[in-house]
Structure 1
Amino acid sequence: MVRFHHKITNLSHSRFEFIWGIHPGFSVNPNFTIDIPAEDVFIEEPLPNNRLEKRGTIYKWPYAIDKYGNKVDMRKVQPEKAQTSDFHYAIKLTDGWFALTDTFAKEGFGFVFPKDIFKVIWLWLVYGGWRGLYCIAIEPWTGYPAKLDMVVRGDIYSTLESGESLECDPRLDI
């Protein structure tokens, strides 16, 4: 088990609105599965050519629908030749964790975080379709989307008053 201590403090003299995330990235292969305790997932960017339903569509994890009406199991890591790059937000979490498992090697890990602080998980699933990268990022965040002005309108973000701090101790279970 590896523990991380995170602390953010507002050193200004006024209220501070922000989104904050932890950015773990992972090298993967098609033997990997992604587990997250999510109900609803928001499609931010389905590439290439809107291969999934359009931006803004919400699907029930783990099954997105492609543009032809077929179910796509988002838990399963795709091969690099898939040439896709998807960015989604898991917006309705039932618990504060995610897991990544290599089903062939029978190895994996879980990442545990406080759901009252990190309310969403950002999923960046890059299977060869962005700059030739083959990796994923599963990121606990305090809000969404990525642009703060849009976040504030949607009311899913964090605030700190002057001098106030927010801290937590997420952990990696191997």
Structure 2
Amino acid sequence: MSRTQVVRPAGAGHETLYVLLVSLLIVIVAACVVLMRGEREDEQPIASHQIDARRDLTPAEQGIYTDLRVAFDEVQLLREETAAVPSVASLAEEGLPPFVVDAGSQSRGSHQWQWLEAGAYLGRSQAPQVAGSFLLIVPHEHSAQPDVWLRRDSAAVMPDDLGQAALIAAGWQQVASHYDAGVTREHRH
């Protein structure tokens, strides 16, 4: 005797429903993870007399600003060794950008650097359309951070007073650097 068993096909409706529910669950979990762990753009406000080192400087100015920050560390070391702030000539002899005259300094505005007795290095730009003039104020305390100022016109006259109010009145802008989670450069179109 032969027995025949009929097997009915499973309904595609239930399988499709399960696949859709699992897919929806995956999308919801992924969205929650992105929202919880995603980087926030916490924009740190800067004062009206400041400019942002990441967003507001030209590429040449960013290069000079970076060189000044690195050179400041070397200035501090030399200052500790000799008990005096090094001259522009000695920094150039050390090959320290931006004080050394080379192809890089020429393409960034051909700045002419000088030491001001008030306590700062002044770099007057010879090409303000490429990069403005810079002022690196060396703090009296060895552990303090440098203060960098920028003026983008050709009349980079140094006031007698290196105080913030005097510099602002003379048309200088303080370069502010705020490093946060989103330090990538922002391209403006």
TM-score, normalisation: structure 1? 0.27
More helix by proportion, 1 or 2?
2
More strand by proportion, 1 or 2?
1
Structure with greater contact order relative to length (CA < 8 Å, sep ≥ 6): 1
Is the radius of gyration larger for structure 1 or structure 2? 2
TM-score, normalisation: structure 2? 0.26
